[in-house]
Amino acid sequence: MKVTMKPLARSIQFSVLLGFLNLPCFAQTKAFEDLQPFSSNLTPSNSVSSYPSSVIADFGLDSIKSYQSVLQKVKGDKLGSIRGAKEVQLYKKVSPSVVLVVAENGLGSGSLINSSGEILTNWHVIAGAKEVGVIFKPHSDARALSKADVRRATVLKVDEVADLALLRINHSQVDAPVIEFGSLTSLPVGADVHAIGHPTGESWTYTKGFVSQIRPDYKWTSESKKAHKATVIQTQTPINPGNSGGPLFNDEGKLVGVNSFKSSGEGLNFAVSVDDVRKFLSSSSSRFANNVPPEVDSKKSSSCSGDPKELYSGSNKDNTSLISGYDVDCDGKVDFEIRKPNDVSKPVTWVFDANNDGTPDMIFFDYKRSGFIEFSLYDTNYDGKWEMVGYHPDGKLKASRYESYETFLARR
């Protein structure tokens, strides 16, 4: 279900935010236009074209996709979460419980969950396999892995719907610590969460983020065209291929989810919840998912160039700003607006609608009106609240640094 954004609530946040930044406060009225839904109800005008055309041209299809996936590219240390003593101890505690899963089709991660040698991972990591290889973390980080480190593990059962799989080490004693299970009910939105995995083959990599939202009965489709459904934890914890199947854990080092997939268009990461893990482990047999037929997008032209196409341009109804709306993916809908107030003391803003619901999801600010961005805001889960802020000291469209909105407010 989509949540409609409330302009008044966002106006309050902007007033507070600008006060912290010591920037011109331009959110004094109830109808702050930069927070309003996209609209073509404008008085025709050509004045917006006075904004640098080269800047407008930069908002092509690739740029839109880049911004929609911007958080996916943010490293853990750019989220304002610097590793300290707590993080170091968490890594030492949990990393020996995390294994590297070697399947015929690639690599993944897993968690040792009991002394019997049972390992929890994603179904898509081992899909179709009856037996896989498993590697535990060497005692020395400097030691290179070898074939001698690989232990064989049998696939005991799978849940294709929730994308989970259970393995067991074959005929081998396991001396590694097991990971404990946490509780989903004690995991609030905004809580810190951590991940250890093997992104793109970089073994036992630690990242940190926070919970963006808990989404019950969430549906998604994997590359295998299977229809999945589970309660998932939406996070900003950076994950990549190779993290799949690894643990998402809380500040106590307890597993609260299994890192499973990310949305490339939105830069969001998802973990199957520990509640679904418990249901899976208590089941007596495997569960299989339905195949999803391929979809054909009839709205988009195969000749779409990705260049911004102006859909409307003109003054707003109060005649206080010049606004242009642009479509970059040839679906006939506005993907972003450039809003230029007549009052030169107010910034030019780029307002993005990443999920095409007609309300702003990302806003970029050009306070000097020079075509250079200084600051940006992101509503990553479309709930009408800011989750991330971006800083652009070099004026480029891609921020040089990101942090959570909560961290930003706490620092002020």
Q: With pLDDT > 90 as the criterion, what percentage of the chain qualifies?
A: 41
CA angle centred on 267, ends 266 and 268, rounded to 5° = 95
CB under 8 Å to 175, separation ≥6 — which residues?
none
Give me the sign of the Cα torsion angle 200, 264, 223, 303. negative
* 39-48, 256-265, 350-359: segment of lowest average pLDDT: 39-48
- Per-residue DSSP letter, 364: E
> What confidence score (pLDDT) does residue 357 get?
75
Query: Is residue 159 in some structural domain?
Result: yes
- Predicted TM-score of the model (pTM): 0.56
- Position 241 scores a pLDDT of 81
Residue 300 pLDDT exceeds 60: no
Task: Please tell me the total count of domains within the chain.
Answer: 2
Q: Is 70 domain-assigned?
A: no
Write down the pLDDT at residue 128. Answer: 86
Q: Are residues 120 and 261 in the same domain?
A: yes
pLDDT at 274 exceeding the cut of 70: yes
| 263 residue type, one letter | S
Model confidence at 288, in pLDDT bands (50, 70, 90)? very high
Residues 29 and 117 in one domain: no
Give me the phi and psi of 304, to 5 degrees please: -60, 125
- Up-side HSE of residue 392: CA atoms within 13 Å toward CB? 20
Task: Examine the fold and report which residue of 240, 261, 292 is the final residue of a domain before the chain moves on.
Answer: 292
Does the pLDDT at position 81 exceed 50? Answer: no
| Structural domain harbouring 44 | 7-60+306-411
80 contact partners, CB below 8 Å, separation of at least 6: 402, 403, 404, 407, 408
Q: What is the CATH number of the domain that holds 193?
A: 2.40.10.120
How far is residue 198's CA from residue 110's CA, in Å, rounded to a whole number?
Answer: 10
Better-predicted residue by pLDDT, 59 or 137: 137
- Which of 86-100, 365-379, 388-402 has the highest average model confidence (pLDDT)? 86-100
79 compared with 117, residue with greater pLDDT: 117
Contact between 42 and 313 (Cβ < 8 Å): yes
Strand 192-197 and strand 131-136: pairing? unpaired
Residue 407: per-residue pLDDT: 83
Whether the CB-CB separation of 296 and 284 falls below 8 Å is answered with no
What is the residue-wise DSSP string for 279-291? Answer: HHHH-SS-B-PPB
Q: Are 241 and 200 in contact (CB under 8 A)?
A: yes
Pair 51, 127 in one domain: no
pLDDT at 68 over 60: no
**Pair 143, 278 in one domain:** yes
pLDDT at 277: 98
Amino acid at 112: L
Instruction: Read off the pLDDT of each residue in 330-334 and give the average, rounded to a whole number.
Output: 80
Q: What is the distance between the alpha carbons of residues 342 and 364, in angstroms, rounded to a whole number?
A: 18
Give residue-wise pLDDT tens across range 232-241. Answer: 999 988 888 8
Quick one: how far is CA 256 from the chain centroid?
Answer: 17
**Which range is most confident: 11-20, 136-145, 214-223?**
214-223
- Please tell me which of 105-109, 118-122, 201-205, 395-399 the model is most confident about, judged by mean pLDDT: 118-122
Q: What is the mean pLDDT of residues 91-117?
A: 93
Which residue is listed with tokens 């232990």? 151
**What is the Cα–Cα distance from 405 to 377, expressed in whole angstroms?**
8
**DSSP characters over 207-231:** EEEEEEEEEEEEEEE-TT-BEEEEE
Average pLDDT value for the chain = 77
Regarding whether 99 and 224 lie in a shared domain, the answer is yes
Of 102-106, 185-189, 245-249, minimum mean pLDDT range: 102-106
Domain assignment present for residue 301? The answer is no
Please check whether residue 193 lies inside any domain of the structure.
Answer: yes
The answer on 148 and 104 residing in a single domain is yes
Same-domain pairing of 115 and 252: yes
